[in-house]
Structure 1
Amino acid sequence: MANEEERDAVFQEHRAVLVGVAYRILGSVADAEDVVQEAWLRWPGVDAAKVEDARAFLIRVTSRLAIDRLRRVRARREEYVGPWLPEPLRTGPDGAAQAELADSVELALLVVLETLSPLERAAFVLREAFGLPYAEIAAAIGRSEPAVRQLARRAREHVQARRPRFAVDRAERRRVTERFLAAAAGGDLDGLVALLAPDAALVGDGGGKAPAPLRVIRGAVKVARFLLAIAKPERARRQLALLGLPESAAIAVEIDEVNGGPAIVGRAAGVPVVLISPVVADGLVTTVYLIANPDKLAPLAMSRRDGRDASART
């Protein structure tokens, strides 16, 4: 029994890191939790005498399971209704440790990672987010060290070419998000347009389960008009009805810390119904990610209820 308790204690010690690895590879909180659960089920059958570094071993197992799962879910994501966005992750208030890894869970980055192959994505995550040596990454993904270096280089160049540039000042991102929310809530079309880059884009994810645009909306005026339209009371009531919530329920809107940055979260009767995450660069919103799929918003409710910092930091 003591040995079993010891094993469980070792696994729990590294659980947050394992969830962090799996989430960054998969872009899904639910899939990440499933992968870590599978790793935990395999852990008792491992010969402890042959494990020199439990953390490295568990990361290796979790990475392989996450890569396998990503290969399986890729086909489902291609059949998804409308654009597919990663599941949001509530990361809690800012802090030195939080800021250190915030960039590696940004929604904008996870969207770019979706365009990598599973092996490229794993190599990028393990190297850039967790700083693993190439030799450890090679063992984790079952490739030679030279092959891993090539995978990581290709992935890094791909991400650098496609990743939006963020404002360096995190406080500025918060200020812009607050002004963005105030303009949208106040029905201020001109104010909202002024905060959007001329070529701003809105990407919506309803998954066929909640109202959301099936195509990317482009242009500051079109994006602003769409946001003001969905903020109208009659539109909000229809969405609540579709989600099985009372139409009379008030929607409380607040700015929360999601995926390492400020995001606007709307809740009705305590249930998250929409998330709007603005990407800010040079003082303007360049991209708006809107997630309304209730399945993807569920982790926001869970992390809020139990008070967890779900950032899965190292």
Structure 2
Amino acid sequence: MSEEMVLVTGGTGFIAQHCILALLDAGYLVRTTVRSLAREAEVRSNLKVGGVDAEDRLSFVAVDLTADRGWTEAADGCTYVQHGASPTPSGNQVREEDWVKPAVEGNLRVLRAARDAGVKRVVLTSAFGAIGVGHRPLKRPFNELDWSDLSGDVAPYQRSKTLAERAAWDFVAREGGGLELSAVNPTTVLGPALGSDYSHSIRLIKNMMDGQPGCPKVNTCVVDVRDVADLHLRAMTSSAARGERFLAAAGESMWLAEIAKVLRQCMGAAASKVSTRVLPNWFIRLIAIGNPAMRQIVPHLGVNMNATAEKARQLLGWAPRSREEAILAAAESLVGLGLLKAP
């Protein structure tokens, strides 16, 4: 058992909870941040669903990304930080600044606290949204040298992830002292949900299984959340990961209709409502006029979003599960947790 402490921010998050599971399994002590200590019992319950009773090897601290208070204490005594807390779509964001400011300032708040506490390395949970949006169509897969082109058509959430990651790299270069930084940029994260508060990526699968009328012509790579957590662990401890960013993808990109076909073929009666029909682009554009969530999809219609995770495979020995395993693990968890609509 290691006595090294790792701070995982945003402990109620889908990726963060799987990172906590991986760290506890590897023998680390974990401290995690939540906005309210009232959610500690929920997090511990979710970890038990994931197979780990954390007991006293996990502790909680209440802090907020938008305020300085408590971050010094949160980082104190930690050897590493895995920083995944970030503003996510809540419906309350009216202006672009509502997304960007908390994301950028939250990253800087965590990095300052980590530097001042003598943390060795921060692993930042960034996103494919900081790499692959706003571009003209590419004939090659996206890689870690790519940055999203903010002069293009970029949704506020993806813009916030891009600016927040750039701010993190700039901070470490200018003011980091000895602090090291690595970034993990996941594509669409699937795999097992641990409770009813799951990611938008899992909602993609839930919507299909609940009978949405078809699939927009949208393309994405997928990756299992357990492999994203494993990549965070490798990026945290490998000397080769210092100063590097890593795309997390389980293979070639897929169209949503292909994901729907995997569900139909493998999930039996649970997938009886899944439609593999491709919805025409004009139909999506029409709906998007009055639907802000659908409007964010429009720039991606028909665009190949393939990305390569060869760097993580070669440099860190990362070996993710297949795309199909990631898709089916998400679906099976929704069934097992009773989170689908009744037939």
| The two structures share one fold, judged by TM-score above 0.5 | no
> TM-score with structure 1 length normalisation?
0.32
Instruction: Flag the structure with higher helix content.
Output: 1
> TM-score with structure 2 length normalisation?
0.30
Higher relative contact order (CA 8 A, sep 6+): 1
